[in-house]
């Protein structure tokens, strides 16, 4: 591959690649994000390849394996261009029939078409599906247009033009001003203004300076950073190079979770290709500016998403945070000025440079601009990644895009901000989502996980879940976090076992406020949030556990019993067959019984019963 020596050469290559893409030529796009791959999509891809070869269609029909499209619930996903026919829940052996009917003969295969569960209407095109239609997919939308393993695909849709614009015609200070004016705020959760961070790093004394991409996405239930890095690694690199140029840095790191093997391999490949093209490395595009990036794989420690712990990990030490009275922008990695931004933040940069800060800041609310990608998961119909403008209401996200709660159950709460966030109740669904509003109600933006809970989710159990998580992930350096979180968890254990005392709620609040005040880093500083916010909005549930020794949602094992609703039981024996302790028993076609003495409350019978005859109370 020839190295590109100038911006002009880049522009002509982009033009050539763009023209080579015939918009009328049939192209089968298969989502190969981790979600779809987990459904077994690799087999489907192989089948399409084999079918194209068998029918001698090479050159006539293109096949593109793209990154995540976001609608993970409906995977495996296939989109057939030019008509953009959207097929969902495609079977792994559907390749032949799709090529035969849809690609060659323009016929629609009815069973693969998306049917809107609300209106019952069949929807043919990807962009008409309500899940996509109600989003603003400025960043994430590119995923479907490119093969993340192909730098040419990225160039063909205009990739790296922002870099050429920045290196070719903008001064570093001008770029920083543009980012400040756009009011881009950190997408990792903190919401710190990105431009100011760049400015401080640029002005800080000390060489070399470092830029870091934080891809240690540890929040459970959040996977947008992974999908960006997997699906569009070049947009992240482009943002980083522009940032490095503005800051005056020639060394970068990407710190990525080891649990994300596909992200590691795609970003590694992207770096190699960009280096071959002269887009990264010495004298980038003949501009005289040099910058290169190293990739570090994390060790599976949640706390390493915290900046100072992340630096320690890159330096080869255990990931323990340090005091923050000296900012990372002055003394960060290896004690040198360091600018660390999250994956999604970096991915926003090319967009702002290309389209200008005025355009960018026209989207969103007064103090939160642009879009945010959320992962909408849990008890929700349309699980997936959604990109929406800041300021959209929670109701629009949950019911408009997410399609509401499965099986017609009742919405109870939405948890945002990962383990540091809080639970927001139904009466607040009409609030507008941005950095400041979420903080006001006792939650936070965090990295953008949104976990939906229904009436079968116990809020005390959820709070305990997060505390357990944080107890394990606390690095143990400071006492309030190490001991305080543990004590709170012990109290919650007690409450969920029916041994809670009336004073426990106050005790939780008291310890919680101590942890918030006394912890070294944000992990401890926000750890009590899930407990405090559930006490605030779901106090009744705590009281039910403590006073009545009941778990209203039927989750906390010591407080529930399983029994059979006589009128509904048909004697099908399904429960008896799955029961691991033979506690469920009965004769065929006669009402069954559950022996409360031997029942271990594993839930197997509840899963197995097709007649809703198992009562948990």
Partner 1 sequence: MEEKVKSIIEKYGSDKSFIIPILQDIQREFNYLPREALDALSRNLGVPPSLIYHLATFYRAFSLNPKGKYRLNVCMGTACHVRGAPQIADYLERTLDLKAGETSKNLEYSLETVNCLGACALGPILVVNDEYHGQMTIAKTAKVLEGIGAKVEADE
* Alpha-helix runs per DSSP H in 218-322: 224-231, 233-247, 261-276, 307-314
What's the CA gap between 318 and 328, in Å, rounded? 18
- For residue 406, the minimal CB distance to partner 1 (Å) is 10
- For residue 67, the minimal CB distance to partner 1 (Å) is 13
- For residue 61, the minimal CB distance to partner 1 (Å) is 29
- In this structure, what token pair is assigned to residue 535? 């006490």
Longest Cα–Cα distance of the chain, Å, equals 83
Smaller CB separation from partner 1, 25 or 317: 317
- For residue 57, the minimal CB distance to partner 1 (Å) is 31
Smaller CB separation from partner 1, 243 or 422: 422
Smaller CB separation from partner 1, 153 or 230: 230
Smaller CB separation from partner 1, 307 or 375: 375
DSSP 406-443: GGG--EEEEEESGGGSEEEEGGGTTSB-SHHHHHHTT-
Smaller CB separation from partner 1, 41 or 102: 41
Smaller CB separation from partner 1, 277 or 411: 411
- For residue 409, the minimal CB distance to partner 1 (Å) is 12
What separation in angstroms does the CA of 284 have from each of 5, 105, 160, 166, 577? 8, 47, 12, 12, 66
SS3 123: strand
CA nearest to 459, candidates 533, 547, 561: 533
- For residue 274, the minimal CB distance to partner 1 (Å) is 21
Q: Which residues bind partner 1 (CB under 8 A)?
A: 34-35, 37-39, 72-73, 75, 217-223, 226-227, 258-260, 296-302, 313-319, 375, 377-379, 383-384, 415, 418, 449, 451, 453, 457, 462, 465-466, 469, 473, 475, 577-580, 600, 602-604, 607-608
What separation in angstroms does the CA of 506 have from each of 224, 308, 510? 37, 33, 6
8 Å CB contact between 447 and 222: yes
What's the CA gap between 155 and 29, in Å, rounded? 18
DSSP 378-390: ES-SS-EEEEEET
What's the CA gap between 394 and 383, in Å, rounded? 15
Smaller CB separation from partner 1, 419 or 484: 419
What's the CA gap between 273 and 234, in Å, rounded? 10
- For residue 394, the minimal CB distance to partner 1 (Å) is 17
Smaller CB separation from partner 1, 238 or 454: 454
Residue 366's Cβ-count burial label (10 Å; 0-12, 13-18, 19+) is: exposed
- For residue 337, the minimal CB distance to partner 1 (Å) is 18
Smaller CB separation from partner 1, 202 or 226: 226
- For residue 304, the minimal CB distance to partner 1 (Å) is 8
């Amino acid at each position: 591959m020839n190295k590109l020596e100038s911006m002009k050469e880049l522009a002509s290559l982009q033009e050539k690649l763009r023209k080579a893409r015939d918009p009328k030529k049939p192209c089968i796009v298969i989502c190969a994000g981790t979600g779809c791959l987990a459904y077994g999509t690799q087999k489907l891809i192989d089948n399409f390849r084999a079918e194209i070869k068998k029918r001698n269609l090479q050159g006539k029909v293109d096949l593109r394996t793209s990154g995540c499209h976001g609608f993970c619930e409906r995977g495996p996903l296939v989109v057939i261009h030019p008509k953009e026919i959207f097929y969902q829940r495609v079977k792994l052996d559907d390749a032949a029939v799709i090529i035969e009917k849809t690609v060659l003969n323009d016929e629609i295969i009815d069973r693969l078409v998306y049917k809107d569960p609300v209106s019952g209407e069949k929807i043919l095109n990807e962009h008409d599906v309500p899940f996509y239609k109600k989003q603003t997919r400025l960043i994430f939308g590119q995923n479907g247009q490119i093969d993340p393993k192909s730098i040419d695909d990225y160039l063909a849709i205009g990739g790296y033009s922002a870099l050429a614009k920045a290196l070719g015609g903008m001064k570093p200070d001008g770029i920083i001003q543009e980012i400040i004016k756009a009011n881009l705020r950190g997408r990792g959760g903190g919401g710190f203004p990105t431009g100011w961070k760049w400015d401080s790093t640029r002005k800080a004394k000390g060489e070399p300076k470092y830029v870091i991409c934080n891809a240690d996405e540890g929040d459970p239930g959040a996977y947008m950073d992974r999908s960006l890095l997997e699906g569009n690694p070049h947009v992240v690199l482009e943002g980083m190079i522009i940032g490095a140029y503005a800051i005056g840095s020639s060394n970068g790191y990407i710190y990525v979770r080891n649990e994300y093997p596909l992200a590691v391999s795609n970003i590694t490949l992207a770096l190699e290709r960009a280096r071959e093209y002269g887009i990264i490395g010495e004298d980038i595009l003949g501009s005289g500016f040099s910058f290169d990036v190293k990739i570090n794989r994390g060790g599976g420690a949640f706390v390493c998403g915290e900046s100072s712990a992340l630096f320690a990990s890159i330096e080869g030490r255990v990931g323990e945070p340090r005091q923050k009275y000296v900012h990372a922008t002055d003394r960060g990695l290896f004690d040198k000025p360091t600018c660390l931004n999250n994956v999604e933040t970096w991915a926003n940069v090319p967009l702002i440079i290309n389209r200008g800060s005025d355009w960018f800041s026209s989207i969103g609310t007064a103090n939160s601009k642009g879009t945010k990608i959320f992962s909408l998961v849990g008890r929700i119909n349309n699980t997936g990644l959604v990109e929406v403008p800041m300021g959209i209401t929670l109701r629009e996200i949950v019911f408009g895009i997410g399609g509401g709660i499965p099986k017609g159950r009742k919405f109870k709460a939405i948890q945002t901000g990962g383990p540091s966030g809080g639970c927001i109740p139904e009466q607040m669904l009409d609030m507008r989502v941005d950095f400041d509003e979420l903080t006001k109600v006792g939650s936070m933006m965090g990295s953008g996980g949104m976990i939906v809970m229904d009436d079968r989710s116990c809020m005390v159990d959820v709070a305990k879940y997060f505390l357990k998580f944080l107890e394990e992930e606390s690095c143990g350096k400071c006492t309030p976090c190490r001991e305080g979180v543990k004590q709170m968890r012990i109290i919650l254990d007690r409450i969920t076992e029916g041994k809670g005392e009336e004073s426990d709620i106050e005790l939780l609040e008291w310890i919680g406020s101590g942890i918030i005040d006394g912890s070294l880093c944000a992990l401890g500083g926000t750890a009590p949030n899930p407990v405090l916010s559930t006490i605030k909005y779901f106090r009744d549930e705590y009281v039910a556990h403590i006073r009545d020794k009941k778990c209203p949602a039927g989750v906390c094992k010591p407080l529930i019993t399983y029994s059979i609703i006589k009128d509904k039981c048909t004697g099908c024996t399904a429960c008896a067959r799955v029961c691991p302790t033979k506690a469920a028993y009965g004769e065929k076609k006669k009402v069954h019984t559950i022996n409360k003495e031997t029942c271990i409350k594993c839930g197997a019978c509840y899963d197995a019963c097709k007649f809703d005859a198992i009562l948990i109370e």
